[in-house]
A and B are shown apart, each in its own frame.
Chain A
Amino acid sequence: MIIDLFHTRVDDLSLAQRRECFYRRMLAVRLCEERLLDLFTQGLVRGTVHTCLGQEACAIGVTSALDLARDIVCSNHRGHGHYLGYSGDFTGLIAEILGLSQGVCHGVGGSQHLHLRNLYTNGILGGMPPIAVGMALAEKRLNTGAVACIFLGDGAMAEGSCYEALNLAALWHAPVLFAVEQNQYAQTTHWSSQHAGSLQDRAPAFGVPTTVIDGNDVEAVYQTAGRLLAQMRTEGGPQMLFMNTYRLGPHSKGDDLRPPEEIAANRAVEPLKRLEDILGRDWCAEQHRQIATALDKTVNMLASEIK
């Protein structure tokens, strides 16, 4: 049921239908992340998990705009939403994090190291952008028409390799979408405490056009990503989609030192809440019930295998 939800082509839908579809996709990601945190609390997850609570619109908006049959997705340590948006494979992700053989990487990868078809995540910040540029250049040289999308955050933008990647992408006209999730925090450090100057003004200095949007507005993310991707397919070259959002959860687990009032203020504008005002509380509650039931079934089945 949940997988089918991710296999619908959203560009064929009306705005109202698409809104419902996006809501359900984002909700599925949110509920999956919450269940992963629960499993962690129960001691069933080894190592760590980094959840994307609050950033679901970035993951769903961008992956819904990609041509998943051929495009490439590169991602980072906070990649569950990207993985689910790309694949709809909840079982493969949850099993992977639980260390089970039916996990997408058979338990080798865990939360941070995922690969399926054309999706690749890795746990080193700033390590994947140059690789995404190389992948895009290979696709260009092999004439597949595919582009590469690399998700990165404000934290990774302090790594030098990001700028080497931006320079090379622009210099060699690589069709790469730099999808920046400005979630405000690198672990516990606010972005303004680790960056001088403006993040969104950096890529244009390399000749990489940058579009800044509200990353909590899933339709805006989808529309803008779609426009940039279309432009990349016809004109080539890189683009940056700079999405302002907020990480509602802790960096990983139990390491949240932010003022509660700041988090509360951001809860009022988070992506699901926004759509709830439009879609209606009752309809949303029903979706919540349906998806939670389906997810719980999957989670319980997988969790029982490790007990």
Chain B
Amino acid sequence: MGKGKFAKEFAKGLILSNPVFVLALGLCPTLAISTSIDNALGMTLAVLIVLLGSNIIIAAIRKYVPNITRIPIFIVIIATLVTVVNLIFHAYLPDTYEALGIFLPLIVVNCIILGRAEAFASKHSVIHSIADALGITIGFMLALLMISFIRQVLGTGSLSVFGIDLFTLPILGEHPIAIFILPYGAFLVIGLLMGLFRRTGVMKGE
């Protein structure tokens, strides 16, 4: 169990099996909350806590879980962690809690979390599961940041993160393309990004 394996499990989630662009998992939250960088970071934090927690717990108990009841057990573990995150966000990050709305509790049914539990954590050691969770979360974050950056800049004509204004574009600042903030813009941006990644050969097509 050298360092190389840890790094490999970590790196795999970034590009080769990027949860959003390659595996097309967790699309609902990705598209719904990618209207601003703030929301993207809030969602990433929530997913990080839940995925790290569920991967560690499930990897730790993997030898004691009977095969036939493993899915309900995983779901209860994940749902408990999501409840914890929900309460923490409600108490300490009320703005993010409001902005994420029902997509915070919906992390329970996010295919990324259960998918990693079933495909990885239930078969590998705790250390590797931590690497897997971190890699997948960062891959998720990269995708979220990319989409929300494009949507926020084109849809509002400016960029502000946590209340700090970073820049305002000259013409777009006055006449933003509002469709990018609306739900339809999300489909447009992710479709074009996926096509671009396949065109440039970063990711494989069908």
Partners in one complex: no
Interface of B toward A, CB cutoff 8 Å? none
Interface residues of A (CB under 8 A from B): none
